[in-house]
Amino acid sequence: MSDRDALLAFLDKAQTQWPEWVLAEVFVPVPQREQARAWLALRGEWADAAWAGVDPVPGAAKLGWWQEELQGWARNAYRHPLGQVLQKQPVDWATLAQALPALAASRVQQGDLGNALRGLEPVAQALAATAAGLFAAPLPAEAQDVAVTLLGERALRMPPSGVQGALGAAGLLALPRFTDGSRVERIHAALLRRRLQRRRSGRDGASSRIAALLAAWRAARG
């Protein structure tokens, strides 16, 4: 398999998980689209490692590997195919690497929204700064908005019975929506919010084409 084929395999995996993005990315500038897909694929890899599955050990090991990989990116080296698109971008990969353990630690957080947000603050700040650098966008006013999207990713990857109250779909939907920062992050947060709405009503999976387009359009406007 060529390097390009390996990259496309990861981009296709992310597209399978988020088929809405094919529609939503029409609101992303064309030069940023592959980079946006790679960034969201990277975020998806970390979310799966942090919160998917019954046994936390493999995911924690994978996040440890990603810490080493990001440290390599900071030194202009990469092993993972997504590095073909992302590694050379002018962002602080080393700081993001240092923040990744907060994702693994959040797996066992229950009930208390304030504690959950504070626990994710280091990685939320690093993700916000990285996305701003990748997409030449301003930082969001509050890194807490990014932390809320992480809690949404966590909720969707765990059984509905395992994440309830303030950290479940209904609790997270009661919080304000993500309205600043990069357009890519805003659109992703809007699609995530649509999935949380479906989870709250007893359904899972992708939104309809019309719902996804409408959510993406609103998010792109800010």
- The pair phi, psi for residue 209, each rounded to 5°, is -60, -45
Tens digits of residue pLDDT in 37-94: 999 999 999 999 999 988 999 999 999 999 999 999 999 999 999 999 999 999 999 9
Whether the CA torsion 2, 7, 91, 154 is positive or negative: it is negative
Interval 138-146 mean pLDDT: 85
**The model's pTM:** 0.94
Domains for the chain: give ranges and CATH numbers: 3-221 (1.10.600)
- The residue ranking higher by pLDDT, 1 or 17, is 17
Check residue 207 and give its pLDDT: 86
CA–CA distances in Å: residue 101 to residues 37, 51, 67, 83, 160: 23, 12, 8, 20, 24
Listed in sequence order, the residues at least 6 apart from 154 whose beta carbon sits closer than 8 Å to its beta carbon are 47, 50, 51, 106, 107, 163, 167
Sign of CA pseudo-dihedral 5, 6, 11, 14: positive
Which residues does 100 contact at the CB level (< 8 Å), separation at least 6?
46, 63, 66, 67, 70, 123
pLDDT of residue 148 exceeding 90: yes
The pLDDT confidence band at residue 110, using thresholds 50, 70 and 90, is low
